[in-house]
Chain A
Amino acid sequence: MNIQGIGTISTLGRGSESFTKALHQGPVEPKIVEYSPVTKKTIPVFSVDDKVLKDKEALKSCRRADRFCKMAVLAAGDALKDSGIEIAEDEKIGVIVSTAFGPHQTTFNFLDNILDYGEANVSPTIFSHSVHNAAASYIASALNIQGPASTLTDFCFSFSNALQLADAWINQGRCKYVLAGTVDELSPAMEYICDQKLNISELVPGEGSTFFLLSAGKRKAKYCDIECNQSSKGKEDDGKNISSFNNCPAWGWIASGSSFYCASAALMLKNKHIYQNFIELKKDVSAEHSDNIKNIRFFDKTKKIVFNLTIS
């Protein structure tokens, strides 16, 4: 399958242009936030600036949406726009949203309601936004997509599972295109959890959304071809590939964040530019600019290929 469009929202800003610019510039400093007014404890985070989420036109049908949904709608819409493809009325688009933790800030807001006002006095609006598939619903309505839509939650495997399902839907002929991506958010409770569970000196929590417009492989790719999970095994190593670096120096640690590596790899292949801050170079690949780079792979901790991007 091919990547035809990319949309990103992260601490680096919105859109593939700002993402590319940030890749050129290299790592940025995280913000320090206080996650509890009681303990006054702080944590460094790569959070998304609320100003980035202000787009009255793109979000006109999402006025009541929370940050989680807004990030997803903007990234998905940008991916579609970035492709430049005019979708015909009879061409079906699918939507696959993947998330590690879902809209947990909204869930916590709902718990606030129960604790503060009692079980019988909670907000129906907050409840309806606390379901994981609220983002997919907003994407479908904002972009008027009536094809299949699904939301997957598999912690660190969320994005690779979304890619695999997108590939299956396209191969089956369920849809001609799939908007597949990830969205995850930060919240004070999540920052506390990260403070307890992560080695913050190495992994700084982040948030954001990345979406891709994917098509069948037979259509010329705007960016590159992408294979995922099982389909990428057995690929010959031609000595000209590079492996993406399994770290998060700019957008932060996001459980579903392999989508950001995928976006950066697709941009490297398209721009024929190796963003050395973000990758681990093989010995025979040293130039910052290289026409030789044809293939970028992303591995999980067990060295299994999660996805494999190729440009012909």
Chain B
Amino acid sequence: MKNHQIAISAMGCISAAGRNITETLQAFDKGCVNVGKVTLFETTLNKPVFEVRDYQPKCKNRTLSLLLSAVEEAIKGYDGDISDKNKRVGVCFGTTVASQLNNIEFYKEFRETGQADITVIDEYLNGNLAEVIAKKYKLKGPRSVVVNACSSGVDAIGVAVSWLKNDICDIAIAGGADELNKIPLCGFNSLGIMSDMPCAPFDKDRKGLSLGEGAGVLILEREKAANLYVSAYGSGSDAYHLTAPHPDGAGLKSAIKEAIGEAGIELRDIDFINAHGTATLDNDKVEGKVIGEFFGPDIKAFSTKGYTGHTLGAAGAIEAVFTALALREGWIPKSAGFQNEDKEIGISPLKKKTEVKGQYALSTSLAFGGNNAALVIKKREE
């Protein structure tokens, strides 16, 4: 099979860092961190979170609303007619919250009375992210929702890349979305991996992750001239544990090797890495070690979780957008939250905004279930 170039024709993103690409770049440039208490729902858990503030939702389903915001930004920046009837436009998104039957009020009512408001289920059945976007823009092509926990967003991009390479569609809208929700807040708290302070990825004194919300979207096309490309995607399973990463990073190594091989480049061609960097003890230790082992301790690396929090199913897609933006803009932001180097980790993220000139960058994602993914993004040769 020919190794087609997959062009990034347009992008969109929304997170606590900004409600669009312009605002996000401004936040990165100034190192602004938009963190605070939970305001979206009542909770007894007092943890800092990264909500999208000053945001008027487009619909009742907040995850879908965030996705719509990112899709609309991408389509606005797309140089073509996304609803062109002659094109097969695939739609693939990653999520965690939007896929779950987790409405507490519905369940509480059912538990207590044996019946509940069934319109909640209708909303759930009509809330498949790919289905909604495909219908809204009258798209004729494959559609799917990927639910690989925290690597869902980047894995959805990987599915879209496979569709394009196999000629299953001509264009793909791919990415991920997740809202800040009570269920994962309680769940991550129960696991003891949430920080009482804003997250500090790769820091010696990191205490865990902070949850966030958002969406990231790429419009991808096969064999089209562009300034940015998804050069390759790779993934691998740890086959180890449901929540803990493999101590040697087996799946992550496999994902990086596949992506580098598919891109047809050498490890030294990667100029910088946008790491998953959740700020949990285990993730950062394993990920940092693998990155250090593969790319050396001096590789330019950063984590944007210090600006966005952990946006779960959206994270890999948001970070793919950030990686592409960094290549396009020629600089990477300081790694917000990072202060002190952890000698146990093989890398030390950047403490200040840094110029980058390379052609290739890597974005990594690790997830519950031992899912690991790596995305190589390429800038057009000047």
On A, residues with C-beta under 8 Å from B are 35-41, 95, 101-102, 104, 107-108, 110-112, 114-115, 118-124, 127-134, 136-138, 140-141, 143-155, 157, 161, 164-165, 167-169, 171-174, 189, 192-193, 196-197, 229-230
Closest-by-CB residue of B relative to A114 is: B186
Q: Which residues of A contact B235 (CB under 8 A)?
A: 148-150
Chain B nearest CB, measured from A159 CB (Å): 12
Does B146 reach chain A (CB closer than 8 Å)? yes
A154 contacts B237, C-beta separation under 8 Å:
no
Q: Which residues of A contact B166 (CB under 8 A)?
A: 167-168, 171-172
Partner pick for B250 among A121, A136, A146, CB 8 A cutoff: A146
Chain B nearest CB, measured from A268 CB (Å): 28
Does B367 reach chain A (CB closer than 8 Å)? yes
Chain B nearest CB, measured from A23 CB (Å): 30
On B, residues with C-beta under 8 Å from A are 1, 43-45, 96, 99-102, 104, 107-108, 110-116, 118, 121, 125, 128, 130-131, 142-149, 155, 158-159, 162-163, 165-166, 168, 182-183, 185-192, 235-243, 250-251, 254, 258, 367-371
Chain A nearest CB, measured from B243 CB (Å): 5
Q: Which residues of A contact B114 (CB under 8 A)?
A: 35-41, 192
A150 contacts B148, C-beta separation under 8 Å:
yes
Q: List 29 A-B contacts (CB under 8 A).
A: A102-B147, A108-B107, A110-B102, A115-B107, A119-B186, A131-B368, A132-B96, A132-B100, A133-B147, A133-B149, A137-B237, A140-B369, A141-B370, A143-B239, A146-B236, A146-B254, A147-B236, A148-B236, A149-B235, A149-B369, A153-B145, A154-B130, A161-B142, A161-B144, A164-B168, A168-B162, A171-B166, A189-B101, A230-B142
Q: Which residues of A contact B142 (CB under 8 A)?
A: 161, 164, 229-230
Contact (A127, B186) CB under 8 Å given A101-B101, A146-B236, A154-B130? yes
Q: Which residues of B contact A174 (CB under 8 A)?
A: 162, 258
Chain A-chain B contacts (Cβ-Cβ < 8 Å), number: 216
Partner pick for B147 among A39, A104, A111, A152, CB 8 A cutoff: A152
Contact (A146, B237) CB under 8 Å given A134-B369, A154-B143, A168-B166? yes
- Give A249 to B99 CA distance when docked, in angstroms: 28
- Give A110 to B184 CA distance when docked, in angstroms: 10
Q: Which residues of B contact A152 (CB under 8 A)?
A: 144-147
Partner pick for B237 among A108, A124, A149, CB 8 A cutoff: A149
- Give A104 to B189 CA distance when docked, in angstroms: 20
A137 contacts B369, C-beta separation under 8 Å:
yes
For the residues of A in contact with B, the DSSP-based class is: helix
Q: Which residues of A contact B121 (CB under 8 A)?
A: 193, 196-197
Q: Which residues of B contact A192 (CB under 8 A)?
A: 110, 114-116
Q: Which residues of B contact A141 (CB under 8 A)?
A: 239-241, 370
Contact (A168, B168) CB under 8 Å given A39-B115, A114-B186? yes
- Give A104 to B106 CA distance when docked, in angstroms: 13
Closest-by-CB residue of A relative to B241 is: A141
Contact (A140, B100) CB under 8 Å given A146-B250, A152-B146? no
A153 contacts B99, C-beta separation under 8 Å:
yes
A128 contacts B371, C-beta separation under 8 Å:
no
B101 contacts A127, C-beta separation under 8 Å:
no
Partner pick for A154 among B104, B128, B182, B258, CB 8 A cutoff: B128
B115 contacts A151, C-beta separation under 8 Å:
no
Q: Which residues of A contact B147 (CB under 8 A)?
A: 102, 131-133, 151-153
Closest-by-CB residue of B relative to A188 is: B110
Chain B nearest CB, measured from A187 CB (Å): 9
A137 contacts B368, C-beta separation under 8 Å:
yes
Q: Which residues of B contact A133 (CB under 8 A)?
A: 147-149, 367-369, 371
